[in-house]
A = this chain, B = another copy of it.
């Protein structure tokens, strides 16, 4: 007879399950197992924790340690064979679902001049953040976009898309972000290869930015019924300028400095249904206060250097480094320079959390709002 215990999750707190195993109960539990059933009180405290405890751990991936591996892939596989030539980042707590944090996937894609990957579409929402190289382009449903450093690009849920680098470009590396793991978890993931393998260009190059990327001006008579942004590329230069302007009018957030969200200009909502993205500027020497949020975050340092304290542990970062903050984990950010600003790009699942009415946040109350740092 098994010596399995059913009362491992007992808590001696009024309103919580607190039933000790007896022979009679164990018999009962075994009978229930035969019926594809169980006694709630044996698992209640486990499945109803007092607050979320993420399966992910905070991690930083330093670009200077990853870059060579990424470039190595250039010689090892072709886009034809690999589909996409990507090194993905796997959270030690989430290797089973190939996630960097929570249900979010991220990876570094590399393409050389003249290469083009085949076009496909899927249920996952995807984005790109350009790290280095010239001549990269993406084509989304026939809208071709040219991509530069720190540009943020959407390839939304259900759109045909493909990437490449022009013949006269250089080796390009960018960060991919997707919610593939979430799509799998929700048993909602579909995938299709484009029947022609590659799409034609159907519009003026960069038309989506020209049409939809204008401050508080929308094209009259253009309608939009899709659940994602018609603006597909958010360029770095106006983004950085916007942060500087906003900084002149506001003190920003105590937790995130000068912090702006990329939005769908058609309705002010998030760029895609399940993934949002932000850029934040930490002023010279700024040390934000700690808070925690329901939601998972993938950051890339777009400018400058500094460190973040996540779950009481320090993670240093500089330009191009990537790090993650798991759900409901305390985090605060520090710009390490006394003279230069630092910028952090991030993407996250807050649109999903908000759509499901699950978002909440909490400020760290003690110690002037700063976590004690574990050494």
Contacts and interface: CB of A to CB of B under 8 A. Distances in A.
Contacts of A353: 186, 188
Contacts of A246: 210-211, 214, 219
Interface residues of A, number: 139
Contact of A84 (B41, B82, B97): B41
A208 to B, nearest CB: 8
B219 A28 contact: no
A313 interface: no
Contacts of A103: 185-186
A250 B220 CA distance: 12
A354 to B, nearest CB: 9
Contacts of A259: 219-221
B36 A91 contact: yes
Interface in A61-109: 61, 65-66, 69, 72-73, 76-77, 80-92, 97-98, 102-103, 105, 107
A187 B263 contact: no
Given A61-B37, A207-B250, A187 B326 contact: yes
Contacts of A211: 246, 249-250
Contact of A355 (B73, B219, B356): B356
A44 B83 CA distance: 8
Interface stretch (A50-58, A163-171, A282-290, A298-306): A50-58
A294 B188 contact: yes
Interface in A164-199: 180-181, 183-194, 197
Interface in A1-46: 13-19, 24-25, 28, 31-32, 35-41, 43-44
A365 interface: no
A214 B245 contact: yes
A44 B220 contact: no
Given A212-B216, A261-B220, A357-B157, A36 B59 contact: yes
27 contacts: A15-B197, A16-B193, A19-B82, A35-B66, A36-B59, A41-B83, A44-B84, A47-B181, A48-B122, A52-B190, A54-B187, A183-B358, A187-B296, A187-B326, A214-B238, A215-B238, A216-B229, A216-B231, A216-B262, A217-B279, A218-B268, A219-B250, A219-B259, A221-B253, A221-B259, A266-B268, A355-B355
Closest 5 CB pairs of A and B: A15-B193, A214-B242, A210-B249, A187-B327, A207-B249
